[in-house]
């Protein structure tokens, strides 16, 4: 796959205001994430020296990341076609949007910007298990396109990579990028009594609809990153066939088989 969708980061084009927005978002999240986000995330921030001073330079960051798990990041202008996105993941290239939000969109933006992609997604790519999971997701995405199963597979991404929680001896912790890059949801996902928090179950997730414009009504909880990799190793073709025979589950609904996880 040629490097489709990839652009230059255009680092010099960032304004002081762009770097100031990064600093504000970075300081806000790093003030509230310790004790809420998994230790692997904080370890990744440190290992890659993703700091508060400003938007990181992608090539330097890729050189550090590649030494750890073989991943690099590539600059893209925004959302790219699914087949191109999957091909990058399968080749251990994570597409990172090169622009940053404006002040008026501090708390919510429709499309991922560099803070969501880089601060939210990249730190966990330093964890070997999660790095393998993301590359396997890319390979799975290419297969899913051929099977007309993209809508099901997108749910797995949504409920793990974007909004996943993990169980630890000290309680539930965040690992999803959509949460880690959001002030409101970093608080809500652990503190609010209203959302469901249920044990990760692959077939259940593939049936589960999700919200894109509000906090999640259901969070899935994994036991560990290696168990997430193990659960998603099998060939999904028969799993898709079986899931197709069941009804979809609305975002906030519970089914009898669900195993609720308390904080």
Nearest distance, CB of residue 162 and ligand HBI, angstroms = 8
Neighbouring-strand partners of residue 37: 174
Quick check: 96 and 73 in contact, CB under 8 A?
Answer: yes
Q: Give 151-158's long-range contacts (Cβ < 8 A, gap of 24+).
A: 152/206, 152/207, 152/240, 152/243, 153/206, 153/236, 155/205, 155/206, 155/207, 155/208, 155/209, 155/210, 156/202, 156/205, 156/206, 156/232, 158/210
76 binds ligand HBI (CB under 6 A): yes
The one among 58, 71, 130, 157 contacting ligand HBI by CB under 6 A: 157
- According to the binding rule CB under 6 A, does residue 1 interact with ligand HBI? no
> By CB under 6 A, is residue 4 in contact with ligand HBI?
no
Identify residues 53-112 at the interface with Fe ion (CB under 5 A): 112
Q: Between vectors from CA 134 to CA 213 and to CA 253, what angle results, nearest 5°?
A: 40
Determine whether 246 is an active site residue. Answer: no
Point out the catalytic residue in the list 40, 62, 88, 162: 162
The two three-digit tokens of residue 54, written as one number:
């400003």
| Segment interacting with Fe ion, rule: CB under 5 A, options 56-64, 134-142, 171-179, 253-261 | 171-179
Is-catalytic flag, 88? no
Residue 57 falls in the annotated catalytic set = no
- Residue 114 or 152: the one with the smaller Cβ distance to Fe ion is 114
Residue nearer to ligand HBI on the CB measure, 78 or 252: 78
Q: Is 181 a catalytic residue?
A: yes
Beta strands in the chain, from DSSP E residues, in sequence order: 72-76, 93-97, 165-168, 171-174, 196-199, 218-222
* Residues in contact with ligand HBI, shown as a per-residue x/- string from 97 to 136 under the rule CB under 6 A: ---------------x------------------------
Q: Is residue 256 a contact partner of residue 191, using CB atoms and an 8 Å limit?
A: no
**Looking at 181, 182, 186, 208, which residue is catalytic?**
181
- Alpha-carbon distance of 171 to 36, in angstroms, equals 9
Q: Say how far apart CA 47 and CA 44 lie, in whole Å.
A: 5
- Write down the least CB distance from residue 65 to Fe ion, Å: 17
Number of C-beta neighbours around residue 1 at 10 A: 12
Tokens of 186: 């970093």
Q: Candidates 10-18, 73-81, 216-224, 236-244: pick the segment binding ligand HBI (CB under 6 A).
A: 73-81
Q: Which C-beta is closer to Fe ion: that of 119 or that of 225?
A: 119
Positions marked catalytic: 116, 121, 162, 181
Binding region for Fe ion (CB under 5 A): 112, 177
Binding region for ligand HBI (CB under 6 A): 76, 79-80, 82, 85, 95, 112, 141, 154, 157
């Amino acid at each position: 796959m040629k490097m489709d969708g990839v652009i230059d980061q255009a680092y010099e084009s960032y304004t002081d205001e762009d770097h100031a927005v990064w600093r504000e978002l970075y300081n806000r999240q790093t003030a509230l994430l310790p004790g809420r986000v998994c230790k692997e995330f904080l370890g990744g921030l440190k290992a890659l020296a993703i700091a508060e001073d400003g938007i990181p330079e992608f090539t330097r960051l890729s050189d550090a990341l590649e030494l750890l798990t073989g991943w690099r990041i590539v600059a893209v202008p925004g959302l790219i076609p699914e087949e191109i996105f999957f091909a990058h993941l399968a080749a251990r290239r994570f597409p990172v949007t090169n622009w940053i939000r404006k002040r008026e969109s501090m708390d919510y933006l429709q499309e991922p910007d560099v803070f969501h992609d880089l601060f939210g997604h990249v730190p966990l790519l330093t964890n070997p298990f999660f790095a393998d999971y993301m590359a396997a997701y890319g390979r799975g995405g290419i297969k899913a396109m051929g099977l007309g199963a993209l809508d099901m597979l997108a749910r797995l991404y949504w409920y793990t990579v974007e909004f996943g929680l993990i169980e630890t001896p000290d309680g539930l912790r965040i690992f999803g990028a959509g949460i880690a890059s959001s002030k409101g949801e970093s608080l809500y996902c652990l503190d609010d009594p209203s959302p469901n928090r249920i044990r990760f179950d692959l077939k259940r997730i593939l049936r589960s609809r999700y919200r894109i414009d509000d906090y999640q009504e259901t969070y899935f909880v994994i036991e560990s990153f290696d168990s997430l990799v193990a659960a998603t190793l099998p060939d999904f073709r028969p799993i898709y066939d079986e899931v197709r025979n069941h009804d979809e589950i609305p975002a906030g609904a519970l089914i009898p088989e669900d195993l609720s996880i308390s904080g």
